[in-house]
Amino acid sequence: MIALITPTGGRSVQIKHCAEFMKAQTYAGDVIWIIVDDCVPVTTDFITSDFRSGWEINKVYPTPKWRQGDNTQARNLQAAINVVKTMEVSSIWIIEDDDYYSPKYLSIMTGALEGFDIVGETDTIYYHIRLKRGLKSGNNKHSSLFQTGFKPSIIPIFEQVVSTKVKYIDIELFKAVPNVQFIKGLDLAIGIKGLPGRGGIGVGHNPRNYRRVTDDLTEKQSKTLRNIYG
């Protein structure tokens, strides 16, 4: 069994797309999907126990509830990890609510993790919905958190990084784990920015970063994302 962790709340559009992407995954093994919803009103009720055959849904509702200006990412990740630690899983995957995941994401990434402690995609692509433009971040020494999976043996390191309340958990996590596998050029997951609702952090959220003349999305990627997001 593999574990997926999705912190969410106040993003009704995003979580609906996320559920669509997870339902389309070709990965055939057993999955526990831990969804941490810390907002009022709750936006995850539509994801029910019969979501998919072989998938167990486990929801966590931390308190106090999120308020404008809060950054509850670290708390919510720890809440999910607390659930993971009570189960026997072979790997843990951060599935963020506001990003695109291709149907083969889990299948390819779980295979790539074999023999390594942590795996991620480099040269992360972001797509801004309002601007309809893509941006390649150029990260080559770490993966964005939404493109990251790791073995249960890394949980203590993950918890240590999360507990320090650093702004970018992904950067510090990859610094702390030596046995790393990076995937480049497949773009199995793409960061989606500019959707309504609760904001986020990171380079992809800033519209000023998309002012370059070139667009880093391929024609196929652009078509796929336009079909999904309009």
- pLDDT tens-digit readout, 63-100: 999 888 888 899 999 999 999 999 999 999 999 999 99
Q: What amino acid occupies position 201?
A: I
- Average pLDDT (171-188) is 95
Position 219 scores a pLDDT of 87
b/e 37-59 (16+ beta carbons within 10 angstroms → b): bbbeebbbeebeeebeeebebbb
The answer, yes or no, to whether residue 197 has pLDDT greater than 80, is: no
Position 17 scores a pLDDT of 97
Q: Which two tokens stand for residue 101?
A: 């995941």
* Range 132-139 contact pairs with CB under 8 angstroms and sequence separation of 24 or more: 132/226, 133/210, 133/215, 133/217, 134/190, 134/215, 134/216, 134/217, 134/221, 134/222, 135/203, 135/204, 135/209, 135/210, 135/212, 135/216, 136/216, 137/203, 137/204
- Average pLDDT (198-224) is 70
Position 85 scores a pLDDT of 97
Q: What domains does the chain contain, in order, with CATH numbers?
A: 2-229 (3.90.550.10)
User: Which of these, 32, 15, 36, 53, lies nearest to 162 by C-alpha position?
Assistant: 36
9-48 pLDDT, tens digit per residue, is 999 999 999 999 999 999 999 999 999 999 999 999 999 9
Q: What is the mean pLDDT of the chain?
A: 92
Position 205 scores a pLDDT of 57
Backbone angles phi, psi at 205, to 5 degrees: -80, -15
Q: Which two tokens stand for residue 70?
A: 């809060």
The answer, yes or no, to whether residue 200 has pLDDT greater than 80, is: no
- Average pLDDT (162-182) is 93
Position 202 scores a pLDDT of 59
Q: 196 pLDDT band (50/70/90 cuts)? A: confident
Could you write out the DSSP letters of every residue in 142-187? S--GGGEEE-GGGHHHHHHHHHTT-S-HHHHHHHH-SSEEEE-S--
Position 128 scores a pLDDT of 87
Q: Which two tokens stand for residue 178?
A: 């030596």
120-163 pLDDT, tens digit per residue, is 999 999 998 888 888 888 899 999 999 999 999 999 999 999 99
pTM of the complete model: 0.92
